[in-house]
Chain A
Amino acid sequence: MTAVPTSFYLVLSALIFVIGAVGVLVRRNALIIFMCVELMMNAVNLTLIALADRFGRLDGQIFVFMVMAVAAAEVAVGLAIVMALVHHRDTTNVDEINLLKG
């Protein structure tokens, strides 16, 4: 059974990361942007685990554990913000949230 080369995982992870990044930049719906961010974080997780496996240490996995915890917290708070924003502005279009304009 030939093992999958680590670099394959890394390239895949890079691909998913870039897809997520482009999504963040291109989409205007706040929720979808959020989802793309999650995508990016997962790609990073994949990288970490792949490398942890490659080097035979568990540190990468612990890192991923923390990332997951943080991601969970972030999603909770972030969605709360989005909800508040929608209550306030009645739109999820990030282009219309431009109070910083100047």
Chain B
Amino acid sequence: MLDYAWLIFVPPLAALLVNAFFGRRLGKPAAGYLGAVAVGLSFLVALGIFFGLLGLPAEERSHTVTLWSWIHIGNFRPDFALLLDPLSSLMALVVTGVGFLIHVYSVEYMKLDDEHHQLDARRYARYFVFLNFFIVAMLILVLANNLVLLYLGWEGVGLASYLLIGFWFHKPSAADAGKKAFLVNRVGDFGMAVAIMLIFAAVGAQAGSLAFTDLYRVIQQSAPLLAGVASTVTLLLLLAATGKSAQIPLWVWLPDAMEGPTPVSALIHAATMVTAGVYMTVRMSPLFELAGNTLTWVAWVGALTALMAATIALTKTDLKRILAYSTISQLGYMFLGVGVGGYVAAMFHLTTHAFFKALLFLAAGSVMHALHGELDINKMGGLRAKLPTTYRTFLIGAAALAGFPLLSGFFSKDAILVATFEHHAYLLYAIGLVTALLTAVYSFKMVFVPFWGQPRDRKLFDHAHESPALMTLPLWVLAALSVVGGLVNLPFVATLEHWLEKLVALGPVGKPEHPALAVELALLAVSALVALGGIWLAYRAYVQQPDLAVRIRERIKPLHTLAANGYYFDWAYNKLVEGLWAFSRFLAGAVDQQSIDAAVNGLARAFGWLGSRTSRLETGLVSLYALSLFVGLVVVLGYFLATAIIGR
């Protein structure tokens, strides 16, 4: 039954082709329904894969389905094959499940364009083509059985991201954002490509297909082969992951990516594509464990990114921007989890984050829909009266994000913090805890400022209306998942851990031993306190004493400026690019124009000069020609004479 796993690609592929060619004729909302149903069918296949695996004994839950022999050059023979195991099936479920809900939401949401006019049918259909294409690429990425196929999916989602971020291409900011995302990702992709090449160079003979199962085998049985390049390779892979998952130093594209339609932000830049980096590191975790040091880097990159992004989120007033920075921060948590060997915790958080972050984005979209595209929370207020469903679901999402006790986010975040603690990385634990506090604060800033209090813009408020069912239904589903998602891996029950354990317990770090009951409970309590404390702080700052926020900002002015400007990453990159441009201009001028062109043109001119000089010989005077002939004759005569004399 698992051999039919390839069916997962068929519905979205078919739907995207139909929408590409006949989308305009299908019109809205038919084109949308087609796209959504396709992903729904894929979800059913993913479920099938899941249950198929469930039916197998734990040791055998790794099934490869080879679709065709893809590349075959000497030792290098990656196949177009799928690896069905607990990790990939989990990702497939998340991608197709959340993806389906977002497609349904989009059917209604995308009827209007960014200026809240009716979107024309062709563009509407095009949206679903891109979105389905994304699903296909993402599935290739997560189901790939080898590094090269993964890379194909990796690039594919990058392309989809570019297409979708720049969907409102007539807006220069959107077009630029798409370009920026693609270019920044390229840096990471370059790292990945080099890493793959290095791996192949090291073990091409043993694992020429670069299949994960083969690589695991090589690592287990003949680790020294890879030990040499492990550090370099894993650092490069980390670079790639920071690109795709928006960590330091390649995170700058994600906030700009909010230019895209909100469902896109929900799907690609919250729930799925950005998690590809996390998935890839978990997939390659045996290699990371072999390298040793890199995992420390991973953890620190994650922790610092989480902290940095949380501070920036606090300074923003654009609803989607806050969510974007929040995503960066939560992804940092996942990296932190991976870095301390808490692979299960990271995947757990990945799953719950997909639920509540997608929920938050979709709810934000609902707010935008109601307020005709307004995103500045300082222009909102009191919306809970007008948008009850949106408010309630948003609240649930924010609570999950903040780590409100017993919601999904609480358990998943805590799992990561526990892993940090077990790993004896107390400094990282502290950073994680502080970030959790900040997370709670900005999460509820997003609740209190737009939804509570008095409306700040009367006109906007009056026009607001709740969203239709097609949009609110997915919100409720995601809300439900955000609440019960924690059941997936409750402490001590650890369902997910058992699901994944065979996969990730391969290296010396292995799975951390579980702490004693007391420690675990204590840590849980601390997390709960932090979350509640953050919520209370937000209440104080944004409801009770609004000027408190202003006063705090004044007190820490320099810090605030630093955070508000994104720690000047963008500024630094701009300077770098300008420098490159200046260098390029120099090359074009000095080297190309003045040196090379001058040389070539100079050569041509030299010949022209030579020609004009020699054309003086063409005097038209026959006598001169005769003279030349005669002189030539004399010379020849002299030559013969000379040889004759010398010969004598």
Contact = CB atoms under 8 A, between A and B. Distances in A.
Interface of A: 21, 24-25, 28, 33, 94-95, 97-102
Interface in B618-633: 618-623, 626-627, 630
Given A24-B623, A100-B622, A102-B618, 15 more contacts: A21-B630, A24-B630, A25-B626, A25-B627, A33-B623, A94-B622, A94-B623, A95-B623, A98-B619, A98-B621, A99-B620, A100-B620, A101-B619, A101-B620, A102-B615
A25 B624 CA distance: 8
A100 B625 CA distance: 11
Which 7 pairs across A and B sit closest by C-beta, in order of nearness? A101-B620, A98-B620, A100-B620, A102-B618, A25-B627, A98-B621, A94-B623
A21 B619 CA distance: 20
Contact of A25 (B615, B618, B620, B630): B630
A21 B633 CA distance: 11
A102 B620 contact: yes
B625 to A, nearest CB: 9
Interface residues of B, number: 10
A95 to B, nearest CB: 6
A11 to B, nearest CB: 15
B621 A94 contact: yes
A86 to B, nearest CB: 16
Contacts of B615: 102
Contacts of B627: 25
Contacts of A33: 623
Contacts of B623: 24-25, 28, 33, 94-95
Contacts of A24: 623, 626, 630
Nearest to A24: B626
Main secondary structure of the interface of B (DSSP, over half): helix
28 contacts: A21-B630, A24-B623, A24-B626, A24-B630, A25-B623, A25-B627, A25-B630, A28-B623, A94-B621, A94-B622, A94-B623, A95-B621, A95-B623, A97-B620, A97-B622, A98-B619, A98-B620, A98-B621, A100-B618, A100-B620, A100-B622, A101-B618, A101-B619, A101-B620, A101-B621, A102-B615, A102-B618, A102-B620
A48 to B, nearest CB: 19
B412 to A, nearest CB: 90
A73 B621 CA distance: 25
Nearest to B629: A25
A99 B618 CA distance: 10
A25 B627 CA distance: 6
Nearest to A33: B623
Interface string B611-648: 00001001111110011001000000000000000000
Contacts of A28: 623
A21 B631 CA distance: 11
Contacts of A101: 618-621
A47 to B, nearest CB: 15
A28 B621 CA distance: 10
A92 B626 CA distance: 17
B636 to A, nearest CB: 14
B235 to A, nearest CB: 70
A91 to B, nearest CB: 13
A33 B627 CA distance: 13
Contacts of B619: 98, 101
Contacts of B621: 94-95, 98, 101
A70 B622 CA distance: 22
B559 to A, nearest CB: 82
Nearest to A100: B620
Interface in B512-531: none
B628 to A, nearest CB: 10
A7 to B, nearest CB: 16
Contacts of A102: 615, 618, 620
Contacts of A21: 630
A99 B630 CA distance: 22
Contacts of A97: 620, 622
Count chain A CB atoms within 10 A of each CB in B618, B622, B626, B627 and give the residue with the most. Answer: B622
A102 B372 CA distance: 79
